Structure 1
Amino acid sequence: MMPPYCPDDAPPGEKALFRALASSAETDGWIVLHSQAIASHVSQVEGEADFVVITPKHGMLVIEVKSHSSVKRSPDGQWKLGSQPPTSRSPFQQANESMHSIRNYLRSRNVDLHSVPVLNAVWFTSVRARTMLPRSPEWQEWQLLDSEDLHTGAVPAILRVIVAGIKHLESRVPGFSHDVGGLDDAAALRIANVLRPKFEAAIVPGDIRRARETQLATFTDEQYDALDNMQHNQAVLFAGPAGTGKTWLAMEATRREVAVGRTGRVLCFNRLLGQRLKQQLIGVEGVRIATFHEEALRLSGGRAPSQAEPDFWESDLPDRAIEALLDHGEDEAADFLIVDEIQDLAREPFIDVLEFLVEGGLGGGRVLLFGDFERQAIYERGDGRALLRDRIPGLTTFALTVNCRNLPRIGTVVKKLSHMAPGYRRFRRPDDGADPEFIPVPRGTDQSKALTDAVHMLRADGYNLDEIVVLSPLRHGATAETTTDPWLRQILQPADGQVPKRGRLRYSTIHAFKGLDAPAIIATDLDAASAPNFEALLYVGLTRATDRLITLIEVQTLRATYGGNA
């Protein structure tokens, strides 16, 4: 599908047909162009074809989609579609003109179409047009598709139209002969590239970076509503999937609390995110910023064992912090408590500690929580939201649904692969036409060469090394950590939460990079067989990319991730 997502403002019929074709296992090798603009239209200043379906060994079909729930034609030839004003230009005329415009353009670009059937049809997606519309000399019966075709199978319906259209051309066009080899995969790809060519915009990388930073730092209307919501409620949970701006809101909430004279804490789960919060909130007085475990160590007055087991962090340390707070914690309760990544802290031992850290406790204090309960709780903590509601009876929830971080193609791919429901309502950032790259790699092979190629690909696309981050689900043995490639070893360095250095390529585990983002992400070592809770890790890792995403993914995992249609 080009593009691989359907815009939110597309008509419902186009959305339905897009979903049917994108989810079908029968469209392997097909190329479908949605909303194909036509600058040189045969009868208008410009036009648009709803769908151009290029099917190797069959032909091309230009489809005009009509979503209207009623279709009428008056005796004077006027068409009335739904609530639209009457028009003398029929849908079939629209489809025919779009087809001729596209065919003329392809011929002007020296694309050989002499044995390629180029056909057109109209698809009424909401009515049973094939049985309700009378026969007419204005169209061929085979050019008509309807709601039943959408329900029973979009792919068979399209093939039915193409087969009937070929028979029509062979009977009516002298010398036309359909050659199945005339539209092979290479020819289909060339046609798609001519109709929708890739190109580089004449904008310098610095301008791209400034535009990205402005987009990421500017609040949406939804986020302003969230900020207003926190003014009128004592305890609020701001919940939303990755990329909806929760960390930005947490930082803005901190500034607002301090501005009215309050003192407090900002806590999070991840060390790297804690470093970022400290950098971004430097100079904000009266607030303590730390990871939960940093704060627990400070409160308990101890140090972590050199080889601490998970039980130490998950049970022993919280218990020690609570003991210390019970003994001498009178001065630790602050005016407000803000917690980012609350989904990873919403379990009894951690919540018990948080109870002591805000005046009035969680149930009566000023508490602002930010979390992603969609897929980002990668540590299998159980039902954290239920626990929060139980411990904070007056907790108000505000849902964040606008993706502010990812370009639409990245966010749409993540939404599909992660089975997010409902997921994102819309994307704030404009599409730039670059698709995420999924590069299959055999299991057990060294991915250094593929990683090097991915880095060079991004460098050629204008990204500096310090704008790229390599992520892996592996805590030990990741490609970036173990590679023997001399060039990679020279430029790679572990992410440490500090401002990235020019000329260095950072790498990290997906776990450690939660809550952060980078302009370009290369995800390596993606193999469901070697990473527990793989689907959640995939979701977290892919949503770190703001603009470019390249994944090195094991072949069988890729097939399974795409539902067997890779």
Structure 2
Amino acid sequence: MVQLIPDVLSPEIKSPAEKRLFVEFRDHRTNKKYIVLHSLGIAEHANKIFGEIDFVILCNEGVLCLEVKGGQVSRRNGVWEFTNRYGNISRKNEGPFQQVQGNMQSLRQYMVRRLGNYDPLVRCQYACAVAMPDCRFRATVVGIDVVPEILVDAKQSWNLDSLVNQAFGYWRQTCIEKHGFEGGRLTDAEIDKMANLLRGDFHFVPSMKDTVERTVKELCALTAEQYEVLESLFENPRTMVSGVAGAGKTLIAMEQARRAYWEGKSVLYLCYNHNIAQYVQYQFEKDRVYIEAVTLHAFMMRTCGIEWSPDLSQHFYEKELPATFMAAEDVPAYDLVIIDEGQDLLTDTYLECVDRIVRDGLGNGTWAIYYDPNQNIFNSYAQLDAMIMKLRKEAYAMSWKLHANCRNTKQIANANILMTNIPNQGKPTVSGPQVEYDSYNGREDERRKINAIVRNIKDSGAVGGDFVILSRYTLTNSHNGLGLTGLDKDLGTLKTTGPLWKAKKNDVRFSTISGFKGLESKIVIMIDIDHFSNEETRLLNYVAASRACAMLYVLYDCNAEQERQNMILSGFTQVGA
């Protein structure tokens, strides 16, 4: 088992080699115990005001300090030169072997001052090594400041286990030859103790808010896959883009709309959910891009001159409104129509209406549909598949599928698989905090636990726009855990209306799961989970969990524990597949 501290790679780390090793160490599978401290500062360095060790590896063999040098490495006239991928050269009189040995000695001296000479953490074996993962270091290189026995580079295949064996093998033998003895080994408990000592004195432990912010920064970037899809959209007039929640569909759709607008085309952005329409419209207006983002139903009602009323029925939206729209005379047509949340709108009835909005129709006009089959909570899978095949066949639509998951961390995606048994969660690349689970016994117990979670989040420094509470039930529903009393008064105001993607500092956002579909939040608190295995619940839980970017809380009925365990057992084979 490998535990990294911190478990999220800081965006401030610029070295590609260091980033690569962080990921390799984090994902290494072993039955040995390792705690790896990344970027450990040394305030009491032996010969510097301040030093830093790239990685400190705590294991049963002892303590290993690792210095990482990426890019090109050379030494000229006694001066070491390090060339990064941009061609920038840094020069140092001290080589990496001297540097890491100095760090190792400084770390041990600190432990002596802290614990005395006879503590097992002091008398254990200390070792150091140098990693040059980007270049091949020739064995013919000699010098008093070169120790090839503790070097791993690009010419050899190595991992965390082999690195530890190589480094400790050298240093144990060296200690025996020079001093007549070797250092001791560490128990698992001693490894934990040393990690706590070093983390407390040398390493800043980020708050939950800091951890969440760092994780979100890592997630917020277009992937190479998304750029490829984006460029293809301008080569194909009719395109269908599918992808899991968090694959960046809305991000690409908005960028496609912006570029078409800048080319002078008339663009309409359609979706199903009012909240996502509000969010996209807000982003367009902020960028001074004058594109209308609106739900299909709102667009049809405005075209037909129909005022909204809370009394309008589902039959009106699905049957009466489309029929009235098809009979309307003045229907505006657009050069490009983008449909987000396509899985909710791909029906024969709605496509007939869209055909009138696209200039030259669906068969000859320009349009793009973005959809996620996993979020098809309103229509049947058979109907969705039939509509997709129809558009491919009759409109010659090109299809693209997004695989990367750039919204959810690995922990959230894996938790979603175990909770829903929906295996296709994309390929998340960012690691984050563990998902928090808790069960409740009755609504009052749930309400207390919701308040405790919100209090903990707020105490960490998070504000209203950082988190949201999601339930399958409205607040007026007797099954809702917030009940009539809601949140404790000192926790702020419950925000249930208006733009749900933002909130004031003291607001606590609440939404039904269906109402928050298409949006995302740094932190999500899922409540009122009373089932796990039936089809409707699985889809709703998938939608809710996939809204979380960096941290997820799951509150479920204790009576559903066995059901949850059954889902976990059946989902284990799908995690990481």
Q: What TM-score results when the alignment is normalised by the length of structure 2? A: 0.64
Aligned: 1:438 with 2:438: no
In the superposition, relative to structure 1, how do residues 504 and 476 fare at CA in structure 2: closer, same or farther (>3 Å)?
A: closer
1:416-469 Cα distance to aligned partner (Å, 9 max, x none): 777765667xx9xxxxxx953522335878544443222112221233456531
Q: Distance in 2 between matches of 1:114 and 1:532?
A: 57
Could you tell me how far apart the structure 1 residues matched to 2:447 and 2:573 are?
24
**Change in CA separation of 1:59 and 1:279 when aligned onto 2, cut-off 3 Å:** same
1:63 to 62, 66, 77: 66
Match of 2:161 among 144, 150, 155: 155
Percent identical among aligned pairs is: 20
Equivalent residue runs for 1:287-366 within 5 Å: 290-294=294-298, 318=318, 323-326=323-326, 328-336=327-335, 337-346=337-346, 348-366=348-366
Find the counterpart in structure 2 of residue 51 from structure 1.
55
Code of the aligned partner of 1:155: D
Could you say which residue in structure 2 is the equivalent of 1:456? 455
Secondary structure of the residue that 1:463 maps to in structure 2?
Answer: coil
Return the offset for 1:513: 0.9
Q: Distance in 1 between matches of 2:218 and 2:23?
A: 28
Displacement of 1:184 in angstroms is 4.3
Residue 268 of structure 1 deviates from its aligned partner by: 1.0
The whole-number CA distance in structure 2 between the counterparts of 1:50 and 1:374 is 43
Q: 1:286 to 1:19 in 2, by over 3 A?
A: closer
Which whole-Å CA distance do the structure 2 matches of 1:261 and 1:274 have between them? 20
Partner of 2:105: 100
Alignment of 1:207-356 (within 5 A): 242=246, 244=248, 246=250, 250=254, 253=257, 257=261, 262=266, 265-276=268-279, 290-294=294-298, 318=318, 323-326=323-326, 328-336=327-335, 337-346=337-346, 348-356=348-356
Aligned partners of 1:191 and 1:479: how far apart in 2? 50
1:52 CA drift (Å): 1.6
Q: Which amino acid letter does the alignment assign opposite residue 130 of structure 2? A: V
Q: 1:111-164 CA distances to partner (integer Å, 9 max, x unpaired)?
A: 9742343321234557898x978999978887455679856x533653674477
Q: Distance in 2 between matches of 1:64 and 1:484?
A: 55
- 1:193 correspondence with 2:197: no
**Structure 2 residue 122 is matched with structure 1 residue 114:** yes
Whole-Å separation in 1 of the counterparts to 2:530 and 2:522: 24
CA contact (8 A) 1:474 1:531 kept: no
Against the structure 1 CA distance between its residues 5 and 503, is the aligned structure 2 distance closer, same or farther, given a 3 Å change threshold? closer
**SS in structure 2 at match of 1:488:** coil
How far did 1:413 drift? 5.0
Please tell me whether the aligned partners of residues 112 and 122 of structure 2 are also in contact (alpha carbons under 8 angstroms): no
Q: Name the CA distance, whole Å, in 2 between partners of 1:44 and 1:486.
A: 59
Contact 1:251 1:281 in 2 (8 A): no
1:290, CA displacement in angstroms? 4.0
Kindly provide the amino acid, as one letter, of the partner of residue 190 in structure 1: L
Equivalent residue, structure 2, for 1:495: 496
Cα 1:105–1:243 shift into 2, 3 Å: farther
**Is the contact between residue 17 and residue 134 of structure 2 (CA under 8 Å) also seen in structure 1?**
no
* 1:479 Cα offset (Å): 11
Cα distance, 1:292 vs. partner? 3.2
Distance apart, 1:53 and its partner CA: 1.6
- Give the equivalent residue in structure 1 for 2:367: 367
Deviations 1:489-540 (A, max 9, x none): 7667573344657755332243321222445433346799347598986775
Task: Report the residue type matching 1:61 in the other structure.
Answer: L
Distance, in Å, in 2 between the alignment partners of 1:545 and 1:12 is 29
Cα distance change, pair 160–218 in 1 and its aligned pair in 2 (3 A) = closer
Task: Name 1:26's counterpart in structure 2.
Answer: 31
Aligned to 1:431: none
- Residues in 2 aligned to 1:334 and 1:2: alpha-carbon distance in whole angstroms: 56
Which of 554, 561, 576 lines up with 1:552 in the alignment?
554
Aligned pairs for 1:123-142 (under 5 A) are 123=131, 125=133
Residue-pair matches, total: 532
Contact persistence 1:469–1:518 (CA under 8 A): yes
Letter paired with 2:37: L
Aligned alpha-carbon RMSD (Å): 6.4
Distance 1:81-1:501 versus aligned 2 partners, 3 A rule:
closer
Asked if the contact 2:272–2:344 (Cα under 8 Å) also holds between the matched residues in 1, the reply is: yes
**For the Cα contact (< 8 Å) 1:49–1:63, is it kept in 2?**
yes
8 A contact 1:268–1:341 mirrored in 2: yes
Alpha carbons of structure 1 residues 244 and 64: separation in structure 2 relative to 1, 3 Å = same
- Tell me the equivalent position of 2:420: none
Q: Which amino acid aligns with 2:515?
A: A
Contact kept? 2:108, 2:122, Cα under 8 Å: no
- Contiguous gaps of at least 5 residues in structure 1: 428-433
**Could you tell me whether the CA contact under 8 Å between 2:6 and 2:205 is conserved in 1?**
no
**TM-score, with normalisation over the residues of structure 1?**
0.65
The residue identity in structure 1 corresponding to 2:497 is D
